[in-house]
Amino acid sequence: MTTPAPQDDGAASHLKGMAVPELTLPATDGTSVSLNQPGLTVIYAYPRTSPPDGAALDGWDTIPGARGCTPQSCAFRDHFAELKQLGASRVFGLSTQTTDYQKEAAERLHLPFPLLSDSGLSLADALRLPTFDAAGLTLFKRLTMIIENGRIAHVFYPVFPPEKNAHDVIDWLRSRT
């Protein structure tokens, strides 16, 4: 089954140029992370990773852009060294899932960077990030932000196909040099 492509609904058009709020999010490496830091940060927001048994939510495949969180994370994993070489001081994945849930995915996928939890929706609310509801959960629509010195320099939205997102970020970073 082919997952329908998401359409640009304008829900992220306000983000470029915004200052990132002073708040911290729990990370799978046990730290608390502020995105309002010096340097260049790449943060990709995704709806959710499925549990190890692969069970998706009912109707998941009919939600445009929902499927593909694992391939997206694996692409960022596989291109992590290149992202660092191109100036990314930090790379993070972000979802509304709890840190405990995310720890399993980070370990299973051998991610060289932490996943951040916005389970309380503090960042989502502060930045008015695009979300959707599924099975009683509030989830991020897939987007990637490049944050430079605490300000959003670029936004990829909608992100499709998810497995190409890391390459698109690399192309954008290269275009700046």
Tokens matching residue 3 = 């997952």
Residues 6+ apart with CB under 8 A from 161: 5, 68
Residue given tokens 């694996």 in the structure block: 74
Residue given tokens 């996943």 in the structure block: 115
* Active-site residue, selected from the candidate residues 69, 86, 105, 111: 69
Catalytic annotation present for 74: no
Tokens matching residue 134 = 């599924």
In whole angstroms, what is the distance from residue 87 CA to residue 162 CA? 22
Q: How far is CA 2 from CA 64, 67, 156, in A?
A: 10, 9, 22
Is the Cβ–Cβ distance between 26 and 116 less than 8 Å? yes
Is the Cβ–Cβ distance between 113 and 91 less than 8 Å? yes
Active-site residue numbers?
A: 69
